[in-house]
Amino acid sequence: MSNNLSDEYIYKQILKSIVEHQLPPGARLPEDKLSEAFGRSRTSIRKVLQRLALERIVTIAPNKGAQVSRPSEQEAKEVLNSRIMLEPLLIPEVLKRWSNTNSKHFRQMVKAEKQAEKEEDQASLIQLTAQFHYELAHFSGNSVMAEFIEQLCYRSSLIIAAFGSRHSVSCDCGDHLVLIELLDKGEVQRAEKWMRDHLTHIKSSLKLTISDDQKINFQQLFSTMD
């Protein structure tokens, strides 16, 4: 493989492989193998692995090295619950800045998603789905929040790798187009609700042990729906 690659490039490359499920949870990441693959010394690789560890994408055990994180069920719930709380919260700000250009940009992205779906290119589909969410967050104008959400999106991909069912991914797509249309029409509350439901749906598609957290609420289940 070619030489003299920046740390940032190596970081993105490894992250991408994990997010796209090429490197499954638990996969060992030996420093000298990576060192050889990227043609850089172990020093650079360690730096990248430590960064990924801080972001919880990778887990480093003392004297045992790095492996792709195996998120716990607890962590899975917390990450998804965080997204359910935060992403709808940013919708009003996104809408304030919403323009025709944005709309076109995101429609283009949905097109790419559908293309990946048709070609059964799981890797691209996962990556695009996450990208849709964090790019939207970035349009809120609050980059501090957006970067946090971006990390949660990467962690979600890992969580889907660990707890997702066969169709978790494609099913998830649930058509981001609907959201765009709501934003075009300026329907704040419906857009917020869509986002909440969308993420809740992803969460419930995970094969997590049932707990208090997701006891069936018959009241809600059989209430009149819109």
Partner DNA sequence: GCACCATAAATTGTATACAATATATATGGA
Partner DNA sequence: TCCATATATATTGTATACAATTTATGGTGC
Dist CA 105 CA 27 (whole Å): 35
Cα angle 39, 45, 50; round to 5: 170
Residues 139 and 150 sit within 8 Å (Cβ to Cβ): no
When CB distances are held under 5 to 8 angstroms depending on the partner's kind, the choice from a second copy, DNA, none that residue 32 binds is DNA
d(CA 192, CA 206) in angstroms, rounded, equals 22
Distance CA 75, CA 156 (A): 10
Give the H or E element holding residue 13.
helix 7-19
Q: How far is the CB of 124 from a second copy (least distance, A)?
A: 27
Q: In this chain, which of 64, 118, 166, 215 binds DNA, going by CB under 7 A? A: 64
- Looking at residue 20, its amino acid is E
Of the two residues 46 and 114, which places its CB atom closer to a second copy in the complex? 46
Query: Rounded to the nearest whole angstrom, what is the least distance from the CB of residue 36 to DNA in the complex?
Result: 10
Question: Please, which of residues 141-160 interact with a second copy by CB under 8 A?
Answer: 142-145, 148, 152
| Residue 75 or 117 having the CB closest to a second copy | 75
Residue 51 sits in the site that holds a second copy (CB under 8 A): yes
Burial class of residue 185, CB neighbours in 10 A (0-12, 13-18, 19+): exposed
Distance CA 225, CA 207 (A): 25
- Taking the least distance from each CB to a second copy, the nearer of 112 and 145 is 145
**Contacts (CB under 7 A) with DNA, residues 3-62:** 7, 28-33, 40-44, 46, 60, 62
The residues of the shown chain that bind DNA, judged by CB under 7 A, are 7, 28-33, 40-44, 46, 60, 62-66
The residues of the shown chain that bind a second copy, judged by CB under 8 A, are 47, 50-51, 54, 75, 78-79, 81-82, 85-86, 89, 142-145, 148, 152
